[in-house]
Structure 1
Amino acid sequence: MSDNLWVYGINAVKELVNVNKRKILQVLITEKNFYKYQNQPEFVLLFKQKIRQINFKDFNKYFVEQVNHQGIAVEISKPTLFQEQNLLENITNIKQLVVLDQITDVGNIGAIIRSMVAFGFNDLIVTEHNSVSDYGHLLKASAGMSEHLNIYKITNLTKLLNKIKPHDFWLAGLDGNAKNDVSYLKKYEKIALILGSEGKGIRSLVKKNLDLMVSIPISSKVESLNVSNAAAISFYALHN
């Protein structure tokens, strides 16, 4: 298994370059994109790297599956997600945590990450099992916004929540049937907001360890919101 990772797509590559946290090993780009982007300020650092111009149809030779690479990709050393110990070491500096309880749809996770960055959230917890595993897909789905977050991969979510609770965190789950409005959480200084998986919601074992459940008031004509939409509304409510 390669220790390197290909990041692809215009927005993901641009954000990767702008954040400048990763060492770029090489760049693949079509001739058309080379001349299109070589003089654009946001790509200046990219064009200082080792660049290979290749035919558009040859791009997929570099990926395990067919992807929407948009004629540009960069190879970096494969990033590793932070672990539980990293989170606990930094817990006193964190006031808001977003926790994804086995959400598997990379599109939803990407949208949640973009909303987190938009509303000033910095720390994300994902589960090791039944969750995102390919950081390249995550970068692409979030248009590179994942580079702005601290992402922690946790083996046992229930145990982790019990470890952060003594640090004055209120553990709140988002549930359509809850009585309290999500804006109710603004009264608490430190919040961990747990979002459940598509269709199943928050697992019962996790839910038993939460302090409260909150909901987003919506029209009775709509049964529920997509998890990424619900997340964005929740982040906005807490941000304001």
Structure 2
Amino acid sequence: MAQQEWLYGQHAISAVLSKEPERVLEIMAAKGRNDDRMNALITLARKNGISVQFCHRKTLDDKSKGEQHQGVMARAKPARVLNENDLDIILEKQNNPFFLVLDGVTDPHNLGACLRNADAAGVHAVIVPKDNSASITPVVRKVAVGAAETVPLIQVTNLSRTLKQLQHSGVWIIGTAGEATQLIYDTQLNGSIALVMGAEGKGMRRLTRETCDELVRLPMAGSVSSLNVSVASGIFLFEIVRQRT
């Protein structure tokens, strides 16, 4: 694991400063930025004894390698990677757990957007396989606009085995597939639920699909056969929220 990483984007850095300020080693801010959000971020950093260095925007452009940094970057210690043990703790704490499972989503922008959806929907954790999946990176944190710090991302060694363990804990596994006969709106979705979304263009892997208790789909009226995984996950998640509440 890398000893340090660069974070960028005001939302992402503010979230880390609020949740885990001990991780942040240094802030680099663009000269001339004097808006309220930037000032609040710098004040928070200084309250935690973190050095703030002001520099030219080109320095930030070069360090962020073309990603939108919003005039601020942070050098930080990497976050701890969460695993099956952390999932067990969440299951013990939650009476009515709600999970989003991403089977092979490799695009960091999609992962960041899914984390943002999960945060908005009140998901207790996002579960991904350790291999062949995007993980938390500066790009993911930036797209997630703070949700990467509020929603646990659990990386598991064997996804189908983890889904079976969730089933043994009373969690109903809802898989999504374009060829499913059951519509999401005709499905009972209250109680303990894990929503499984497949990879971009490929869908769920065979073992994942076979482990699901139920397969559902969205009604697609136009010529487009599928939606982006982050868009689809938002629709599915909020139908579950509607029914759970």
TM-score (normalizing by structure 1): 0.89
Question: What secondary structure is seen at the aligned counterpart in 1 of 2:32?
Answer: helix
1:157-236 alignment to 2 at 5 Å?
157-236=159-238
What count of residue pairs does the alignment treat as equivalent? 237
> Aligned equivalents of 2:235 and 2:38: distance in 1?
38
> Aligned equivalents of 1:22 and 1:104: distance in 2?
28
Q: In structure 2, do the counterparts of structure 1 residues 207 and 3 end up closer, same or farther at CA, with 3 Å as the change threshold?
A: same
CA contact (8 A) 1:100 1:196 kept: yes
- Tell me whether 1:57 sits opposite 2:58 in the alignment: yes
> 2:126 is matched with which residue?
124
> Aligned equivalents of 1:52 and 1:37: distance in 2?
18
Deviation at 1:140, TM superposition (A): 0.9
- Tell me whether 1:68 sits opposite 2:68 in the alignment: yes
> Aligned equivalents of 2:183 and 2:169: distance in 1?
24
Amino acid at match of 1:57: K
TM-score (normalizing by structure 2): 0.88
1:18-167 alignment to 2 at 5 Å?
19-23=18-22, 24-33=24-33, 35-37=34-36, 40-41=39-40, 43-48=42-47, 49-60=50-61, 62=63, 65-94=65-94, 95-167=97-169
CA contact (8 A) 1:97 1:191 kept: yes
Q: In structure 2, do the counterparts of structure 1 residues 134 and 146 end up closer, same or farther at CA, with 3 Å as the change threshold?
A: closer
Question: What secondary structure is seen at the aligned counterpart in 2 of 1:116?
Answer: helix
> Aligned equivalents of 1:103 and 1:238: distance in 2?
21
CA deviation map 1:46-96 (0-9, x unaligned): 243211111211225545x44322321112211022111221233133411
> Aligned equivalents of 1:138 and 1:100: distance in 2?
14
Deviation at 1:14, TM superposition (A): 3.0
> Aligned equivalents of 2:38 and 2:142: distance in 1?
23
- Listed as ranges, the gaps of 5+ residues in structure 1 are none
> Aligned equivalents of 1:145 and 1:50: distance in 2?
25
Amino acid at match of 2:162: L
> Aligned equivalents of 2:237 and 2:225: distance in 1?
21
> Aligned equivalents of 1:39 and 1:176: distance in 2?
44
CA contact (8 A) 1:84 1:153 kept: yes
